[in-house]
Amino acid sequence: MTPQQPRSALAQTASTVPPRDREAARLLALWVDLTVRLASAAAHHSSDEPSLRNLQIQIEEALVDHLADSDAVMAELWAWEATLLHVVEMPPETCLICRKARLGLPADVPLPAGIGGVR
């Protein structure tokens, strides 16, 4: 399995989700944002981790209700989450993944147009 695989499955999912399903798009964007923060909190032992993880689980449950093929999408999302490897020995200030997030650079998850990738 390569980190690139989520692209194809998310793109396929786009064709099955009505573009008007703004709630799914909103939830997916929220999940991505939250998961980036959670990965940082978990890697660097932040006290925010439990609350971020609870939020992530709630959003995942909502996403499952809103997606036509939620099993496939969630599998891709979790595979992507596993690629968010932080340098645990470093403080967040020098960890490259944290720096990327602080700078507002894309988290490298190409969201399909139908569910939030494109306006």
Q: Which residues bind Zn ion (CB under 5 A)?
A: 40, 86, 95, 97-98
Q: How far is the CB of 93 from Zn ion (least distance, A)?
A: 9
Per-residue exposure over 39-61, b if at least 16 CB sit within 10 Å of its own CB, e if not: bbbbbbeeeebeebeebbeebbe
Alpha helices in 1-119 (DSSP H): 5-16, 22-43, 49-66, 70-81, 96-102
The two tokens of residue 13 are: 């999912």
Residue type, 44: H
Would you give the distance in Å from CA 31 to the centre of its chain? 5
Nearest residue to Zn ion on Cβ basis: 95
Q: How far is the CB of 15 from Zn ion (least distance, A)?
A: 34
Q: How far is the CB of 97 from Zn ion (least distance, A)?
A: 5
* Residue owning tokens 């064709």: 15
What 3-state class would DSSP assign to 113?
helix
Residue 66 or 86 having the CB closest to Zn ion? 86
Residue 20 or 45 having the CB closest to Zn ion? 45
Q: How far is the CB of 43 from Zn ion (least distance, A)?
A: 5
Residue 87 or 113 having the CB closest to Zn ion? 87
Residue 9 or 101 having the CB closest to Zn ion? 101
